[in-house]
Chains A and B, each alone.
Chain A
């Protein structure tokens, strides 16, 4: 009886024994990587807007405060896109002839709103609330990145659920004193710790203090133990109904 399999099949089988799992694993890894890639999540993709508003210019160079335009950020679920009136506060005297600002003037003149394209989109079953994050000391930077360096805004974080949950599990990685929430250049090592009489060594140490409600930015007064449950525990923060209703 002749051999059913050619001799070469031996080596083929050996290759497959190692190759198939490798192949499967790499498919999995690449799919996972693809899912998280900038391409799928839209990270670093500049969104076209009717008016090419530059945060770099207005925030980075002119130093206009975030809340000047995003007025709801401390009180509402949505930070709020400024009404045309806010633009016109300055632009009725500055750059009044600029072509780029024509849509703004048209909007103001005809009382028709400007339709902006949303940059940070979360699914409709997810309820993000700006006010509580800002209120607890999560900086704008943590989610929006270096917005003051963006001539045109793009999404700088994946906005995937794993990204949200990572912070809800360990908020200390992102907490900062309330006075620094809108600071784009904030570094934990710049914060002076009155109780150790030196600057904080890293974000985690600072974050853990802040989680307990301690406020190094208020000096020694703020370092008295306020409440060790200023931030809720990770079980509560990762309850489904915290974000999904």
Chain B
């Protein structure tokens, strides 16, 4: 097909520019140079430390040795192996058949139910538990990465005493000695420091500690910082309650610096609830989503760009100091007369308030305002007042009795504890998990004070910064090794059952407390069971406890344990008189956030999560000072702008300026990253990096932003300055890798577009042209649709559309003129595989409107498919191995009509205006083309089609020519340039999925649609040939829709990915593909991709000011 290749024509008619990074926007010389190369610049070149000559020598030697090997029995096709059977096989286990166990994963005190796959006693993969309200089957990326921590070779493996290895018995003896002293004084000076605890059993034990040692004190601290939320509730209602949001009920949502879809308690559930109202469906046979009229509208006011902000229909970048003013102004506009006075606001924000308030009010109670966890207590209290005013209580916001124990200002508690430590009042400090020496604000100097405490005990999974300062360190058991329990965001309790005995004899918090309570002979299982026996006796009362217990374990959820609903009462505004008067912030503001992949640093030694590109910035292996283009260009800062030599080309190596970030008398050196859409005059830095005491993966990675964090301003600090240094730093950023320049890969429209097209779409597919390729002619668009697997036109062409579907779609057979011109133009001689009519056609559809860019899919893929970690150096050379990537596009209005003229100033202006930038995500796995360009160029047939249309990758045939990658328009193929898979570390062998080949050097690999899952479902179905229902098409035993779920699909919190058989009229994937918003990426290349996308649909408010 003829394609106009003049780049000036590439901008779509909608008048917008869609770019991956600023260098692409600016069309810098370096960017053009990079685009000329077909391969990432260095990826194909020999730049390894070994010289070519050395290499040839080595190869000569190995060839000679190959001859020797030929005379060796190991020349055989397969090496001889050992088989080790059980001595006594447990009844439930059939070797080779995986089992799934329900258990509980807890992060920052809040639990989520998980189902963990176990093969012969080895935990392999974590999936969400569909029965658990906090998961509903989805997971976040931490959950996916958590399994690697179990096999981390750098885990703390033994009890340590004063820096030397010791034993659990010695620890117990030491603790007994300490206890005898403490008991005489009633526990004076005994302090227990834990992270947020919701576990009912652990809380019970801590209460008992309080009974035995009445003068002891328990302090909770974790660096997440939900203090504003806790104290805000206290201000507003003065009772211990907690809000639970219902986004599936909300028509209008305002996220006030809140990234509720990817962080905080219940994020996975909230993401799913929100997305359920934002998947716009037009096709009458749709099984999910909502009609365009019922779509919810999401506003986001935030400083950093987040997943919530990217999904929002209107996003306003605002400084943290202005966000509070914005809330006050909004409250006033909504008629809360006696609220606090707002400070000055920028013009755009002023313009926002009126229409926003009206829209929220018009929703009639189906609106909700969600404040960010780190915002001050007064904003939280005010938001409760706003929600009350909106009539949201009981509809979109419900309140439950506090799930957390002793909710309060944790930061202040920690400060008080450190004060006591300083004053020598602390006799013994037991740190139950967490790493306060690293995570506590720098001015508290927690580590220094810790040294002064007479007796210190640390329980942790790593021998970290805190552990090294404590007299005793107890190696903590992983959550898959220990008994326990926890509560979800709505209070629902679930049990944590171990899947494996502690590998290094680790202990859990329950065991340490049991020693303190002289219950050391009672194991953690008995402790948990005893606690739930109490619950059973008082609440359940019916039947046998053992049966009830087994049922709870199996389901993974204890039914009926959701926190009791609480009546909030009216919101008090008494606190208003004490609310500070707001003034315009001076200087740069600094926002401290936990890192989106390594969290507070606890995952810093987790290679999967370190290498996972961070949502929005696409950085790996580093954190940075993140600022907006305008701030970067401003006088005091002047970094990067405007030449953009360095924003990271296709090779993923970005050479950036290093700046000195000064806050008060503290400073830190950090690389700079410019993020379009970020609020101006604000810097976002992520905590969790620059760890000093950590294993081989996290050592020397990033800078410690916590070094400038103080307890007065732990989340937002003002008055920072940035000084540019002459240093440069290489960041590994994958944002520019595999760019599809100018082809508008991520398509989107508005509810208005959908409604406009709605009356006509059944007869006229042109009605939804926002989902179509912008640069091909109308006639060609029609042909493309006839070739796109699963599209109504294609099903029609193959005669696969059911009469019911034709009825709903009004597609008439033979209506379109038959023209197979595009098919004839292919290099494959036989046209579309004839068997595709009757065989299963596996396909995938991804709803771009529901993608929040959280990268949980990438993490899940890594865990499922044994994807190796390559390290920062290799990432900077375009060699990251992820099979699915989440492309992120910045969309800016094109004031010059979108043409790429030599004059850069209009584009520069667009980038400088953060408020006009919108962000879209596009997950990109292998598209499994029916006419795969990779297949025809492989000289050895290492990538070929299966009859069900999978683009099979045969590792054992691959000789590493990389022609396939060269010819892949989507650039989804990954090559093992070096020996990336870890064959050396014993413990790392255990994490590998035995159903998937571990690839060696020199082999190409790519997404397989999780073929191992497809084939095992097929084997099961074929085995049950006699008893299973048969498929009408081919007589094969039916595999029901949903029986095969890919790893990415399973993990996705919003359910943005569906997978199934396109030929099955009952499959969800087929229903998605029948939507008029369905399009194939680069389908104009005649690849007939099996993975298609549903264009994102936004629901903008026409009354809002322009440019927002």
A residues lining the B interface (CB < 8 Å):
40-42, 47, 71-72, 75-78, 80-85, 107-108, 111-118, 121-127, 129, 131-132, 135-136, 159-161, 213, 226-230, 232-233, 235-236, 239-242, 244-245
A118 lies within 8 A of B80 (CB): yes
A82 lies within 8 A of B946 (CB): no
Q: Is B818 an interface residue (CB 8 A)?
A: no
Q: Is B777 an interface residue (CB 8 A)?
A: no
Candidates B79, B997, B1035; contact of A244 at CB < 8 Å = B997
In chain B, what residue has the closest Cβ to A72?
B94
Candidates A80, A84, A126, A245; contact of B88 at CB < 8 Å = A84
Give the chain A neighbours of B15 by CB distance below 8 A: none
Give the chain B neighbours of A112 by CB distance below 8 A: 87
B1035 lies within 8 A of A229 (CB): yes
Candidates B75, B87, B94; contact of A75 at CB < 8 Å = B94
B1083 to chain A, nearest CB (A): 24
B53 to chain A, nearest CB (A): 32
Q: How far is the CA of A193 from the CA of B84 in the complex (A)?
A: 43
Give the chain A neighbours of B1030 by CB distance below 8 A: 227
In chain B, what residue has the closest Cβ to A130?
B96
B954 lies within 8 A of A83 (CB): no
A125 lies within 8 A of B955 (CB): yes
B97 lies within 8 A of A72 (CB): yes
Candidates B78, B1012, B1036; contact of A121 at CB < 8 Å = B78
Candidates B83, B86, B1011, B1035; contact of A116 at CB < 8 Å = B83
B944 lies within 8 A of A245 (CB): no
Q: Which of B253-261, B555-563, B1017-1025 contacts A (4 or more CB under 8 A)?
A: B1017-1025
Give the chain B neighbours of A132 by CB distance below 8 A: 1019, 1022-1023
| A and B contact pairs by CB, cutoff 8 A, 8 listed | A85-B87, A116-B83, A122-B77, A125-B955, A125-B997, A135-B1023, A159-B77, A244-B997
B1059 to chain A, nearest CB (A): 15
Interface string of B1023-1043 (1 = CB under 8 A from A): 101100010001110000000
Given contacts A76-B97, A135-B1022, contact A229 B1036 (CB under 8 A): yes
A82 lies within 8 A of B1019 (CB): no
A124 lies within 8 A of B946 (CB): no
Given contacts A76-B97, A124-B78, A241-B952, contact A131 B835 (CB under 8 A): no
B865 to chain A, nearest CB (A): 9
Give the chain A neighbours of B79 by CB distance below 8 A: 121
In chain A, what residue has the closest Cβ to B1013?
A245
A40 lies within 8 A of B1008 (CB): no
Q: How far is the CA of A83 from the CA of B83 in the complex (A)?
A: 11
Q: Lowest 7 CB-CB distances: which A-B pairs, in order? A: A76-B96, A239-B946, A78-B96, A83-B86, A121-B78, A81-B85, A135-B1023
Place the interface of chain B in its size category: 35 or more
Give the chain B neighbours of A80 by CB distance below 8 A: 85, 94-96
A223 to chain B, nearest CB (A): 15
A124 lies within 8 A of B87 (CB): no
Give the chain A neighbours of B80 by CB distance below 8 A: 47, 117-118, 121
Q: How far is the CA of A80 from the CA of B94 in the complex (A)?
A: 8
Given contacts A83-B85, A244-B952, contact A239 B94 (CB under 8 A): no
Q: How far is the CA of A78 from the CA of B956 in the complex (A)?
A: 22
Chain A's interface: helix, strand, loop or mixed, by majority?
loop
Interface string of B59-94 (1 = CB under 8 A from A): 000000000000001011111111111111100001
A76 lies within 8 A of B94 (CB): yes
Given contacts A42-B76, A116-B82, A121-B79, contact A227 B95 (CB under 8 A): no
Given contacts A83-B85, A117-B80, contact A245 B97 (CB under 8 A): no
Q: How far is the CA of A239 from the CA of B1014 in the complex (A)?
A: 13
Candidates A47, A160, A245; contact of B995 at CB < 8 Å = A245
A78 lies within 8 A of B955 (CB): no
Q: How far is the CA of A236 from the CA of B88 in the complex (A)?
A: 39
Q: Is B950 an interface residue (CB 8 A)?
A: yes
B1025 lies within 8 A of A213 (CB): yes
In chain A, what residue has the closest Cβ to B946?
A239
Candidates B835, B948, B998; contact of A124 at CB < 8 Å = B998
A134 to chain B, nearest CB (A): 9
Give the chain B neighbours of A136 by CB distance below 8 A: 1022, 1025
Q: How far is the CA of A121 from the CA of B78 in the complex (A)?
A: 6
Q: Scan residues 989-1025 of chain B and give those whose CB is less than 8 A from a CB of chain A.
A: 995-998, 1008, 1011-1012, 1014-1015, 1019, 1022-1023, 1025
Given contacts A41-B77, A123-B956, contact A245 B996 (CB under 8 A): yes
Give the chain B neighbours of A72 by CB distance below 8 A: 94-97
Give the chain B neighbours of A159 by CB distance below 8 A: 77-78
B998 lies within 8 A of A241 (CB): no
B833 to chain A, nearest CB (A): 10
In chain A, what residue has the closest Cβ to B73?
A42
Given contacts A132-B1022, A160-B77, A227-B1035, contact A240 B952 (CB under 8 A): yes
Q: How far is the CA of A78 from the CA of B86 in the complex (A)?
A: 14
Give the chain B neighbours of A47 by CB distance below 8 A: 80
**Most interface-central of A160, A228, A235 (chain B CB within 10 A):** A235
Give the chain A neighbours of B995 by CB distance below 8 A: 127, 245
Give the chain A neighbours of B1014 by CB distance below 8 A: 241
Q: Is B185 an interface residue (CB 8 A)?
A: no
Q: How far is the CA of A75 from the CA of B94 in the complex (A)?
A: 8
In chain A, what residue has the closest Cβ to B950?
A241
Q: Is B947 an interface residue (CB 8 A)?
A: yes
Give the chain B neighbours of A235 by CB distance below 8 A: 835, 947
Q: How far is the CA of A213 from the CA of B1027 in the complex (A)?
A: 13
Candidates B835, B1008, B1022, B1034; contact of A245 at CB < 8 Å = B1008
**Most interface-central of A136, A230, A241 (chain B CB within 10 A):** A241
Given contacts A82-B85, A115-B84, contact A242 B76 (CB under 8 A): no
Give the chain A neighbours of B997 by CB distance below 8 A: 124-125, 244-245
Given contacts A84-B87, A245-B996, contact A239 B952 (CB under 8 A): yes
Candidates A40, A124, A135, A242; contact of B1015 at CB < 8 Å = A242
A108 lies within 8 A of B87 (CB): yes
Given contacts A129-B1019, A244-B954, contact A83 B84 (CB under 8 A): no
Give the chain B neighbours of A125 by CB distance below 8 A: 955-956, 997
If A107-B87, A113-B87 are given as contacts, then 19 extra A-B residue pairs at C-beta distance below 8 Å, sorted by A number, are A71-B94, A76-B97, A83-B89, A85-B87, A85-B88, A85-B89, A113-B85, A116-B84, A118-B81, A118-B82, A121-B81, A126-B78, A127-B995, A233-B947, A235-B835, A240-B944, A241-B1008, A242-B1015, A245-B996
Q: How far is the CA of A6 from the CA of B304 in the complex (A)?
A: 90
Give the chain B neighbours of A227 by CB distance below 8 A: 1025, 1030, 1035
Q: How far is the CA of A6 from the CA of B87 in the complex (A)?
A: 78
Give the chain B neighbours of A115 by CB distance below 8 A: 82-84
In chain A, what residue has the closest Cβ to B839?
A236
Give the chain B neighbours of A78 by CB distance below 8 A: 95-96
**Most interface-central of B946, B996, B998 (chain A CB within 10 A):** B946
Q: How far is the CA of A213 from the CA of B80 in the complex (A)?
A: 37
Give the chain A neighbours of B1034 by CB distance below 8 A: 229
A168 to chain B, nearest CB (A): 13
Q: How far is the CA of A47 from the CA of B995 in the complex (A)?
A: 27
A81 lies within 8 A of B78 (CB): no
Give the chain B neighbours of A245 by CB distance below 8 A: 995-997, 1008, 1011-1012, 1015
A77 lies within 8 A of B96 (CB): yes
B68 to chain A, nearest CB (A): 15
Interface string of B348-379 (1 = CB under 8 A from A): 00000000000000000000000000000000
Q: How far is the CA of A132 from the CA of B1024 in the complex (A)?
A: 9
A231 to chain B, nearest CB (A): 9
Candidates B75, B835, B1012, B1026; contact of A40 at CB < 8 Å = B75
Q: How far is the CA of A116 from the CA of B83 in the complex (A)?
A: 5
B83 lies within 8 A of A118 (CB): yes
Give the chain B neighbours of A131 by CB distance below 8 A: 1019, 1023
Give the chain B neighbours of A111 by CB distance below 8 A: 87-88
Q: How far is the CA of A107 from the CA of B80 in the complex (A)?
A: 23
Give the chain A neighbours of B1026 by CB distance below 8 A: 226
Q: How far is the CA of A82 from the CA of B75 in the complex (A)?
A: 30
